[in-house]
Amino acid sequence: MELSLSIASFPLDAETAGEMEQLIDGEPKECRMLLQNELWQKPFAKGFAVLAYTDSGELVAYAAAADMVGLHHYEWSAFVSPDYRRLGLATALADGVAHSLKQRGAESELAAFTEDAASDSWLESLGYHCSFQELQFEAQPLSAYPLAETVDIQPFEEEDLDDLANLLRAAFDESALPVLEHNLEDPERHVYLMRQQGKLVATATLSSEDGALWVTALAVSPDSQRLGHGQAFLKWARHLAHQKNLSRVLVEVETENVAWPVYEKAGFVRVSTISYWQPQEA
């Protein structure tokens, strides 16, 4: 049996995207998320797929890579049909990803896979090392959650930019600002601000994918931490998911982030660990 590889740029045509969806039908939700399925057909998405076909035209494996924040930093993952594993297809896909990343002038890459001994061993054999891990948490929507009378959460407005940038610098560093710029430009990401008695105390970015509400870029001003603002923001997001008829709320937190217990206090439970890998030379 002969197999051939091809590379297709985002946005993918409906037929290709449909074949890719069919191949992972029934796989865990984390698989779809890691393969960036929500971006395949988005007109603004920057990325590509490496596709493996049999000589009869059947799609049996693919990798998908996306420039997540528009800064030439790509994340990718791969899936091979169980019937075609142990044939070296995964390595061929990784080679295709590396070739396309070089052509596109990528400045860095992260291979993202659910923590698994077989995947870990394969990536190590390719010369990758685990750079960091993130815990994925999930919570059910809340039918009701009243904020304290002194607290208000509203969508970002242009006049909020300076205050928001200052909060992110204080909570993280200057590297958070390009991510903020991307989140503000992406029409499917919505930045929200929490104020207490008019003072900006926290922010988060929300987006909807596959019936879930994602909470990202959650930050609490350093001088307002340990006051319950992060927990309140998360519970408010769970209520927003209920209002939008979404089925769950998802967040990812680096394992080294000492604040991750806040998510458990807000009603989230850990569902998986995602490992992010970089080439050794990186």
Shared domain check, 103 and 179: no
The answer to whether residue 129 sits within a structural domain is no
> In this structure, is residue 133 part of a structural domain?
no
Tens-place pLDDT, residues 189-216:
999 999 999 999 999 999 998 899 999 9
Asked if residue 223 and residue 175 are part of one domain, the reply reads yes
- CA–CA separation, 137 vs 249, rounded Å? 8
Residue 155, pLDDT > 80, answer yes
- Are residues 184 and 75 both part of a single domain? no
Q: Do residues 19 and 57 lie in contact, with contact meaning Cβ atoms separated by under 8 Å?
A: no
Show the 3-state SS of the chain: CCEEEEEEECCCCHHHHHHHHHHCCCCCHHHHHHCCHHHCCCCCCCEEEEEEEECCCCEEEEEEEEECCCCCEEEEEEEECHHHCCCCHHHHHHHHHHHHHHHCCCCEEEEEEECCHHHHHHHHHCCEEEEEEEEEEEECCCCCCCCCCCEEEEECCHHHHHHHHHHHHHHCCCCHHHHHHHHHHCCCCEEEEEEECCEEEEEEEEEEECCEEEEEEEEECHHHCCCCHHHHHHHHHHHHHHHCCCCEEEEEEECCCCCCHHHHHCCCEEEEEEEEEEECCC
Is residue 159, in this structure, part of any structural domain at all?
A: yes
- Tokens representing 267 are 């009603």
As for how many domains the chain has, the answer is 2
Strands 128-139, 73-80: pairing is unpaired
Q: Is the pLDDT of residue 282 over 70?
A: no
Q: Is residue 169 part of a domain?
A: yes
**What pLDDT, on a 0 to 100 scale, did the predictor assign at position 130?**
96
Domain identity same for 267 and 191: yes
In this prediction, residue 261 carries a pLDDT of 86
Mean pLDDT score across all residues of the chain: 94
CATH of the domain at 244: 3.40.630.30
pLDDT for the residue numbered 1: 67
Both 42 and 143 in one domain: the answer is no
Q: Is residue 88 part of a domain?
A: yes
Quick check: is 198 in a domain? yes
- Worst-scoring range by mean pLDDT, 30-34, 119-123, 129-133, 276-280? 30-34
Percent of the chain with pLDDT over 90: 87
Is residue 281 predicted with pLDDT exceeding 80? no
pTM for the model: 0.85
pLDDT of residue 259: 79
pLDDT in tens, 76-109: 999 999 999 988 999 999 999 999 999 999 999 9
Pair (78, 173) in one structural domain: no
Own/partner pairs, 32-39, CB within 8 angstroms, 24+ separation: 32/210, 33/209, 33/210, 34/77, 34/112, 34/113, 34/114, 34/274, 35/62, 35/64, 35/77, 35/78, 35/79, 36/64, 36/65, 36/66, 36/75, 36/77, 37/64, 37/210, 38/209, 38/210, 39/10, 39/66
pLDDT at 44 exceeding the cut of 60? yes
Does the pLDDT value for residue 58 go beyond 70?
yes
pLDDT, residue 92, reads 96
Domain span at 182: 138-277
Boundary of a domain, candidates 60, 94, 110: 110
